Structure 1
């Protein structure tokens, strides 16, 4: 039997990265209308608690924001609009680049204090990427992209990829 890593006990006791007050709960994933921006075709996902869906006004604001915001890289991809709590939202834009990589841009809106979405500041070296709920549509999109890569990558394959969307538990 192998010995446990020396740091395991210390991390579990003092530096787990999870607040003692945190209680994990289920969320849902739904898909929305495809979003076309200049140079991008993006599948649309919303992530939220069952009793707190993303308001239509926030979805419309997010879609309008992405329509007028120029991304560094365009192409095929997906968007995750994640309602975190009562009025904080992440707007995560992912495009497929470098043959098999997800490139990500993260925007946010923090309640009524912000009139619109803005680029999420990420100044540290070690940065958050996806939370456990966001990984549900990400995992689906990973599998959908592999199917596309293994296809003829023509118009028919593109349409199949576009129709391949996820809805369900996060």
Structure 2
């Protein structure tokens, strides 16, 4: 016998006024930091871009975090997602592979000001949105290919070159 179930909310917690839009996932030049080599993805609406100065600010910020105590990389591979959400808000998601097959994440954001850690109170919190998951799904498959490879220098370069590009949503 199964546990009793409660009827789901009418819209499954989706606001009646919400309309899903298409966004673009675009790979950009990777970022080498002390202890990590990271792929880079920009995500933005089809009618938007990510300003070069915002991307440069994000890269400079991550270099400072890696040089300080903000990011403690351990000879890792991974990826960054810079996601423009609206006019001035940007998420900066840093993900690395640890423990062989685990994806670890650090979340930063900026809302017109500088990047800073994104507060995530509580135990049940957001991870990736539907647009970010396109890059994450690709990365999951790329990491599996890497794990099944000889994991030598050629395989590492192949992993770092393997990126997703295209519309989502």
Q: TM-score, normalised by structure 2?
A: 0.91
Q: 2:47 aligns with which of 48, 51, 57?
A: 51
Residue deviations 1:83-111, cap 9 Å, x none? 00111000000000011010000000012
Count residues in correspondence: 161
Quote how far apart the aligned CAs of 1:22 are: 1.2
Contact 2:44–2:84 (CA under 8 A) maintained in structure 1 = yes
Q: CA deviation at 1:17?
A: 2.3
**How large is the Cα RMSD of the aligned pairs?**
1.5
Structure 2 unmatched runs, 5+:
none
| Aligned ranges 1:2-17 → 2 under 5 Å | 6-9=5-8, 11-12=9-10, 16-17=12-13
Q: Which runs of 5+ in 1 are unaligned?
A: none
CA-to-partner distance for each residue in 1:44-79, whole Å, 9 max, x for gaps? 000100111111111010011001103133410000
Separation (CA, whole Å) in 1 of partners of 2:10 and 2:58: 38
Q: C-alpha offsets along residues 13-55 of structure 1, whole Å, 9 cap, x if unaligned?
A: 6xx3222221111000001011011111000000100111111
Superposition TM-score, scaled by structure 1 size = 0.90
